[in-house]
Amino acid sequence: MTILVVSIAVLAVLTTTLIVAAALHKVVWRVRQPRRAAVERGARRRVVELIAGGTISADEIRAMPKAELRALERMIAAFRPKLRGEARETLEELIEMRNVEAQARRRARWPGAVGRLRAAHTLGLVASPSAVDALIGLLHDRDADVRSTAAASLGRIGDPRAAGPLVCSVGAKRVVPAGIAVDAVVKTGAGAIPALLDALASESREVRRAAIDALGFLHASEAVPVLRLMLLVEGDERSRARTAAALGRIGSPRAVDALVRALDVARTPALRVAVLEALEALAPEEARPAIERCLDLDDHAVVRTAAAAMLALGDPGRMALEARIADGEAGAEHAAERIAEMQLALHGAPLQRLWP
Amino acid sequence: MGARILIVDDDRNVCELVAFKFESLGFAVRTAADGESAVASALDDPPDLVLLETMIPALSGFEVCRRLRREPVTADLPILMLSARTHERDVERGFAVGADDYVAKPFSPRELVSRVEAVLARRLRASR
């Protein structure tokens, strides 16, 4: 009984302390907020004046209170990626004066993850060649958030040197989420393509998949010969589905024969749907027999996608579909459903009732 | 007093920088942070030129441009897009909805001033 009473009392004291601490924190934050906002406004004004031709000496910077200096650094980092020409050079000189980059690189080696996280963010804004090297190092950080932030920062900088390390990071022991890595590589642009082509030969399936995705998003037509081959020989069907999607995005007619062959030998609906979507994007007349064969399959998603691919072929595809619907052949209902949806999207209402 | 410019951008940093730059050159500047207020401000008191970001809340810059072109009072207003959307399709779309010029971010403030002055000068010549 006594133990219970004591426990309740301790719990009550702890709860009260927590509530009081939270309330105090809120009060302190509110009291400090106007001051913080004022410092931020002052720093913005200062940077704007500097860009417009004002000057500031190293001594002035050294004499600044710490909070103002930090606000100035944040503001310089925020302005820099939006500017080019003389304005950007002015900010770069300021960065040099304050050595923001050197500080961030030092912070990148801090034991605390928060410091390294801030470093990864700041280095992305600094965007110099040496910042890229430091960020590539942070892709292997022991903290997942630091790795992801480093990847996003590399994407913001867009240096092609980072493309290889970024795509390989999805298969590393300390992994970067594939979505973040692929997004960063794509932001790098066409300069990333050679590294991505190399990554297609990686032993890691995750790396190969990320490279396939990125090549598709980059519309890398030089990757079509390799991707055609991969579509037919890649071991697992998920990778082949990604390859089909990439070929569809690239939009090269050279991929059609491989897509048709992949469609004929596909075992899973997911791969068939991916190939059909790619064929829908390419709309090749020679693929019509293979697409039409999919209308006879017993999978809703496959038949609907095949119907969309038929419609993409224009009048011949549409007429073949309508004949099939009129005859009540297999898949006709799903095909009609897809046609009705497309008409709805195009005209606001189905043009005609397609089946009873 | 110089020409009157309406700057439409939800990025306070860019807004303040561009406003400062033009004010220091003698332009009369006012700002709007979203599409709705930009349209309202331009219709209420048409400026001599609109500097328009495409990615703004409420209405996109493209839509703002389209609406201003539809209204008789702002149909001939010089509109210069200053946008972080740099894809050629976006530039094409900007011109398609009626922009007179398209400046991609990152931008050079000096170049922006030159472009604004060139657009205003063209309009002045055309109106003579």
CA distance B126 to chain A (A): 31
Residue among A48, A85, A88 minimizing CB distance to B17: A48
Task: Identify which has the larger pLDDT, A301 or A96.
Answer: A301
Cβ distance B108 to A44 less than 8 Å, yes or no, reads: no
pLDDT, residue A344, reads 60
CA distance A106 to A121: 13
Query: Does the pLDDT of residue A321 top 70, yes or no?
Result: yes
What parts of chain B have a pLDDT lower than 70? 1
Chain A: residue nearest B109 by CA? A87
**For A41-83, how does the pLDDT look when each residue is reduced to its tens digit (9 = 90+)?**
888 988 888 888 777 766 677 677 888 888 888 888 888 888 9
Interface probe with B: pick from A74, A75, A83, A157, most Cβ of B within 10 Å? A83
Chain A: residue nearest B84 by CA? A82
Neighbours of A42 (CB within 10 A): 14
Residue ranges of alpha helices (H) inside A112-236 are 113-126, 129-138, 144-157, 163-168, 178-188, 193-199, 205-217, 224-233
**For A199-221, how does the pLDDT look when each residue is reduced to its tens digit (9 = 90+)?**
999 999 999 999 999 999 999 99
Q: How confident is the model at residue A353 (pLDDT cuts 50, 70, 90)?
A: very low
Which positions 75-114 of B are in contact with A (Cβ < 8 Å)?
A: 84, 105-111
CB contacts of A75 in chain B (<8 Å) are 13
Residue among B20, B105, B110 minimizing CB distance to A82: B105
Which structure tokens are listed for A34?
Answer: 């106007």
Q: What ipTM did this prediction achieve? A: 0.84
Whole-Å CA distances, A268 to A238, A253, A262? 9, 24, 11
Task: Identify which has the larger pLDDT, A345 or A160.
Answer: A160
CB contacts of A49 in chain B (<8 Å) are 20
Cβ distance B110 to A79 less than 8 Å, yes or no, reads: no
- Largest Cα–Cα distance of chain B, in whole Å? 37
Query: Does the pLDDT of residue A246 top 50, yes or no?
Result: yes
Residue among B13, B21, B111 minimizing CB distance to A79: B13
